[in-house]
Structure 1
Amino acid sequence: MAKVLLVCGSGASSGFMAAAGRKAAKKANADLEFKARSDSELGDFLQGVDLLLIAPHLKYMLHDAQEEANQYEVKVAIIPQKVYGALDGKGLVAFASDELAGK
């Protein structure tokens, strides 16, 4: 099972997004596990993660997050605004799957 960590400023909106992702993954029988944390907790939760997804409003932190994630060989991407803004769990599952597959 691929582990996906979502981060936002406080962990609240990414928590809603992760819940939508878990629901959609279950419905689609996708082998993905979504968790959410605040950006300040990032370093504590990267180990064992396959993909780090950053909320679109935090794209300014991409470079720093990438440097931190590289230590654990974790892929990093920004969640598309249209997926994040609509809490589109199905879109999140598709996006995460594509990122993990290197598309």
Structure 2
Amino acid sequence: MYKIALICEHGASTSLCARKMIEAAEKLGIECSIAAYSDSQLDNIIQDMDCILLGPQLMFKQEQFKQEYPEHAKKITVINAMDYGMMNGEKILKDAIALIEHLK
């Protein structure tokens, strides 16, 4: 099972994106756990996640997070802004899974 966290400043704008990803996972028969969190919760969840997806609005914090969590840096990435804007849950999900598989 893939464990994917979407991160934004308050956890609100990524909630819709997480729902779209969950719908895509169900449609494709992919077993995963996907949830949206505020960036203030990152410390509590990062160890348990296979992939950390930052909302495009947090792109400027990517390097900061990678420095704060060097042992998890490779699993932190920013969601493609076009896919995020279109709420393309399937594409975002497939990109996340590709990253997770690459890290194995």
TM > 0.5 between the two? yes
Aligned length: 103
- Output the aligned Cα RMSD: 1.8
- Distance in 2 (CA, whole Å) between partners of 1:3 and 1:83 is 20
Note closer, same or farther for the CA distance 1:53–1:26 as it changes in structure 2 (3 Å cut): same
Find runs of 4+ consecutive structure 1 residues off by over 6 angstroms: none
Structure 1 partner of 2:34:
34
- Specify whether residues 69 and 18 from structure 1 end up closer, same or farther in structure 2 by C-alpha distance, changes over 3 A only: farther
Q: CA deviation at 1:32?
A: 2.4
CA distance, structure 1, for counterparts of residue 96 and residue 72 of structure 2: 18
Shift of 1:30: 1.5
Higher helix share: 2
The residue type paired with residue 84 of structure 1 is: Y
Question: TM-score when scaled to structure 1?
Answer: 0.89
Equivalent residue number for residue 16 of structure 1:
16
> TM-score w.r.t. structure 2 length?
0.88
Residues 38-77 of structure 1: CA deviation (Å, up to 9, x unaligned): 1111111112111000011111100121233434576111
- The aligned counterpart of 1:81 is 81
